[in-house]
Amino acid sequence: MWRWALALALALAAEPGPEARRRVQIGVRRRPEGCGVRSRRGDLLHMHYTGRLEDGSQFDSSLSRGQPFVFSLGTGQVIKGWDQGLLGMCEGEKRKLVIPPELGYGDRGAPPKIPGGAVLIFEVELLKIERRPEL
């Protein structure tokens, strides 16, 4: 009897609940040694990225344009999954972000390339952090 209860408890624990699906999954691909400055809210970040859907189809990339994407972190200029998933990065660091729809484009998507309810997968590289002076 206890084995059955243990197996059931393990199965339920392995199944991600609604809360787990609303978090960004972060995989650090490369972190440089001696990271002195980590990204924080308000920093101006210079990023290269490639965005894909779960089926592997690419919907956008800064690499193909040959220009980094520059934005202010944590100020709503990008999807919520980026504002969360890029915190604490070092210059030169590479991450893989798996972003649930709730932290991406939600049920509306971003037609025509991103359907509603899409999980977004980004390979990102932080090229430069510009820290704004504190007031």
Q: Which residues are catalytic?
A: 49, 59-60, 79, 105, 122
- Write the DSSP symbol of residue 119: -
Rounded CA-CA distance 80/41 in Å is: 12
Q: Is the dihedral of CA 101, 81, 21, 91 positive or negative?
A: positive
Rounded CA-CA distance 74/84 in Å is: 8
Lookup: tokens for 101: 């729809």
Rounded CA-CA distance 109/75 in Å is: 21
SS3 82: helix
